[in-house]
Structure formats: C-alpha cells, structure tokens
Amino acid sequence: MKIDRIETRGRIPLMIGLSASCAAVLLAGCMSSPTYGTGKTANQQLMEDVTGILALGPQDKPDIRYTPRGELVRPPTTTVLPEPQQEVASAENPAWPESPEERRRRIRAEADANNGASPSVVNTKDQRIELQRRIREGQQGEATNRRYLSEPPLTYRQPEAGAAAGDIGVDEAKKARDAKRAAGKSSWRDYVPWL
C-alpha cells in the first residue's frame, strides 16, 4: 500500500506541472495575436481598455467626419399626382394562393361531407388517383397552380408560342457515353446493351 502512495505522489505533481505548462503555452499563443478590427495585440488592447475605465489614458478621440444626406427627390408639381395603385393582394385575385384558414375549411368540409365515415373497402384505383393528386399538389413549379407567394405569377410561367416546352433533351449520362465512344475509349457499359 505504501508503495502505491509513493508512486502516485510523484505522478500528481508531474501531471499538474505538465498541465500548467500546456496552459501557459496556449495562453501565450492567444495573447500575441491581434484583436480583430483594431490591429493591436491583445495585451495592448487590454491595457487600453483598463486604462480607459480608470480614465488614466488619453481622452482625445478622432473626430468623425459626417457627410450631409442628399435632398429628397420631390415631384415638380404636386397638383397632378398618379392615382394610388389598387389593392393587388385580395381574395378576388385568382393568382392569390389559398390561405391556411381556407385550406383548413376546405379539408374540414370534405371530411364533414362523408360524416367522418371512411370506406370499409379499400379501392386501389382510388388510392392511386389520390396519390397522383398529392404528388402533383406537392410539386412546385406547376404552370396551372400557384400555391406559395415565392412562386412567380402564372402569367410568367406560360411558355412562349415558339418555345420548346416539354422537350427534356438528351440525358447528360448518354451525352457523356457518346462523347467517350467518339473518343475511342471503352468501359464495361459498352458490353451491356441495355445501359
């Protein structure tokens, strides 16, 4: 038992000494770096802050040069002003998205129409149609619906008459394969005909 105590007594001061030296090295590295925005070392900034609190340091601060603000632009005549714009954000606007309250009302009305009764027989065709409807509803960028204010108005989504709408083009992977084939390089996909 006494032997264990002697060994641990020697280790504790060693560990404390190593910890203190590591802390000193880390703090020395931190103290030499400049503080951001001032270009001064941390010690110098600390001393200025302390002396500023005690009012021992200089009280002279550089004057701030203010530039006057420009004049407001005023119309030449105030007798003929344009009419105020009509309210665009109204419920009558067809491009205005459905509010959460209206959506809740619509869903509640659909549930009340069935009197809360769910069909006892599951119809897979109806489920498939409902799933497709939900997928379409969840997609953003539809040209026929505007669900969120962040989406552009419907008139901006209409393609021009001469635009190639619906043409996806050639797949990028196929383009890369064709370019590699034209360069004469081969890969394992050349031996698999359906890829």
Give me the DSSP letters along 117-177: PPPSS--HHHHHHHHHHHHHHH-S--SS---STTSPPHHHHSPPTTS-TT-----HHHHHH
**Could you say which DSSP state residue 189 is in?**
G
Q: How far apart are the C-alpha atoms of 120 and 178, rounded to whole Å?
A: 54
Stronger pLDDT, 132 or 187, i.e. the higher one = 132
Sequence-separated (6 or more) residues with CB below 8 Å from residue 89 = 96
Domain edges within the chain: 2-54, 98-113+123-158
The Cβ-side half-sphere exposure at 39, using a 13 Å CA radius, reads 0
Q: Using a pLDDT cut of 70, give the percent of the chain over it.
A: 74
pTM score of the predicted model:
0.20
Q: Please write the tens of the pLDDT for every residue from 5-30.
A: 555 566 777 788 888 887 777 776 66
Q: Please write the tens of the pLDDT for every residue from 59-87.
A: 677 788 888 888 888 888 888 877 777 76
Dihedral angle, C-alpha 114, 116, 120, 122, nearest 10 °: 70
Asked whether 147 and 97 are in contact (CB, 8 A), the reply is: yes
Q: Please write the tens of the pLDDT for every residue from 97-131.
A: 788 898 899 888 888 887 766 655 567 888 889 88
